[in-house]
Chain A
Amino acid sequence: MKFLGETLRIGILRSGLELKQFLRQRESVVFTLFFPVILLFIFGTVFKDTIAPGVTFSQYFVAGMIASGLVNTGFQQLAITIPMERDDGTLKRLRGTPMSVSSYFIGKALLVTFLMIIQTALLLFFGSVVFDLNLPTQASLWWNFTWLVVLGSACSTVLGIAFSVVPKSGRGASAVVSPIVIILQFFSGVFFVFTSLPNWMQQFAAIFPLKWLTQGMRSVFLPEEFATQEVAGNWELGKTALVISVWLALGLIFAIKSFKWSRE
């Protein structure tokens, strides 16, 4: 019990330190936190069309960007920064101290949570102020929003840790990770209306969690009638929960098994 408490305490201290380091790197603040807002601004300004009665493209896009935000702050951010920490000696130094690896993971998970809250708040704020995003009024929709965010960010975090073994070096990590995220965003209906994509693209995207997260977010932020415009004719929330949970479980196993403290 004392050991668990200590692991948690150090994990919380680590998250504070991680957040401090994150906020001091201007590139990471702009790239991770503000980029989705900048994209929202560009897309929302350029595409003013209405895609269904009472639904503008910018509303559709905000829902997708909130889902992508979970991928940015979790998967993308971790899969890039962990290889960098492997290169600059952070992980090796930590390995040589009595700190437990669980504390390190707790620190990362809390960092992702902080970043995700900041980013989602930014997107909701700009979305509702600038682009008429309708915030849900029903409690059930906010409940859906909450579980989607919690499940989605947990999944994104473990997949980011798991994927951190793939980039060969910290410098090359961004070049490996970012294209994957951008392609998934295109395929998953973030930048385009999902149903307008070619069929093979839709089916490919359906393997990965982002497609389900964006669809789930649309269920929260778009009118209920819009569900009929989706591929299945409804929001498929049960299937969404299932797909993301499977990825979460696989990611967790892989993250624990494959995590490396050093490159050798």
Chain B
Amino acid sequence: MSITHAIEVEGLVKKYGSKTAVDGIDLKVETGEIFALLGPNGAGKTTTVEILEGYRKASSGQVKVLDFDPATKGSAGQRWRNRIGIVLQSTTDAADLSVIETISHYANYYENPRDVEQVIDEVGLREKINAKARELSGGQRRRLDVALGIIGSPEILFLDEPTTGFDPEARRSFWELIRTLKAEGKTILLTTHYLDEAQELADRVGVINNGKIIEIGTPQTLGGRNTAPAKVSWLENGKQQVIETKDPTTEVIRLNQRFNGQIPELEVSRPNLEEIYLKMIGELK
């Protein structure tokens, strides 16, 4: 039997007039995985996700989410929405309603809603249950958005830049929430421009820039990080010298012989993921 894919995208193109926002994306997301679409602002992340969510129509290409074309109109499209959960980029709606009022109301929309109290506990809003949305902090507001995203017990959850504007602590605790959702078996498609977020959460990462997917890989192998050349630097003739090499050990021995002992200010470093990422998106600009 073949692996079932929660999301299948082939040759997706989205044009706005003469501007191409998404320029031929192929993508397969497996059921139960967290897939991160990583890219700078304006790379085409949100456009791609909004096509998958059924908000926008593709200019061309094939899109299947849970084996269904999200652009389908009418009651079939509505039924399909029972199976997906959407957490949009920052919103300020329902400001005058309390956490419990909003979540209980949205539960009515779904055929198979989850228990409201349980969802409130899961997203960590128990203490704010009667607070109005306008009184919540940025992080709490996002938790409410997630609660509304999961209240219909979706099979797949879309999270569009969920932690933008968070302080580091709020981000860490939000990541815990996402891991909990994954543990429940949900497929999660996450967009982010934070590399550490993709690295922390995702099973696989797709780097997107200028409407194209540059690379898809695990956070460990992205950009050939595991085989990337190391940098060796030292001080010579009053200047910092740097070379890149696949074999830093041999290089250091060679230097050691040349200096006949101590190598001044020797440093050997492997590129971190951030450097690789910046290089990847920089090259294509």
Contacts and interface: CB of A to CB of B under 8 A. Distances in A.
B78 A92 contact: no
B81 A97 contact: yes
Interface residues of B, number: 28
A199 to B, nearest CB: 47
Contacts of B53: 96
Contacts of A100: 75, 78
Given A21-B96, A85-B93, A98-B152, A93 B88 contact: yes
A257 interface: no
Contacts of B194: none
A182 interface: no
Given A20-B101, A98-B79, A93 B108 contact: no
Contact of A89 (B75, B84, B92): B92
Contacts of A10: 108-109
B88 A89 contact: yes
The dominant DSSP class at the B interface is loop
A141 interface: no
A261 B95 CA distance: 19
A17 B103 CA distance: 12
B234 interface: no
B97 interface: yes
Nearest to A24: B96
B164 interface: no
B91 interface: yes
B277 to A, nearest CB: 29
Given A3-B75, A262-B55, A98 B94 contact: no
A9 B111 CA distance: 13
Nearest to B110: A98
A13 interface: yes
B96 A99 contact: no
Contacts of A98: 78-79, 81-82, 109-111, 152
A88 B110 contact: no
The dominant DSSP class at the A interface is helix
A13 B157 CA distance: 25
Contacts of B54: 96
A97 B105 contact: no
Contacts of B86: 93, 96
A88 B152 contact: no
Contacts of A24: 96
A191 B224 CA distance: 76
A88 B109 contact: no
B120 interface: no
Interface in A9-40: 9-10, 13, 17, 20-21, 24-25
Given A10-B109, A97-B106, A88 B93 contact: yes
B91 A21 contact: no
A20 B152 CA distance: 23
A157 B46 CA distance: 34
A90 interface: yes
B148 interface: yes
A168 interface: no
B105 A93 contact: no
A95 interface: yes
Interface in B51-110: 53-55, 75, 78-79, 81-82, 84, 86, 88, 90-97, 101, 105-106, 108-110
A88 B101 contact: no
Contacts of B148: 93
Given A21-B97, A97-B110, A98-B152, A88 B82 contact: no
Interface string A243-264: 0000000000000000001100
Given A88-B93, A92-B55, A17 B152 contact: no
Given A93-B88, A97-B109, 17 more contacts: A17-B101, A20-B96, A20-B101, A21-B96, A24-B96, A89-B93, A90-B93, A96-B54, A96-B81, A97-B81, A97-B106, A97-B110, A97-B152, A98-B82, A98-B111, A100-B78, A261-B55
Interface of B: 53-55, 75, 78-79, 81-82, 84, 86, 88, 90-97, 101, 105-106, 108-111, 148, 152
8 contacts: A10-B109, A17-B97, A20-B101, A21-B94, A88-B91, A88-B93, A98-B79, A99-B109
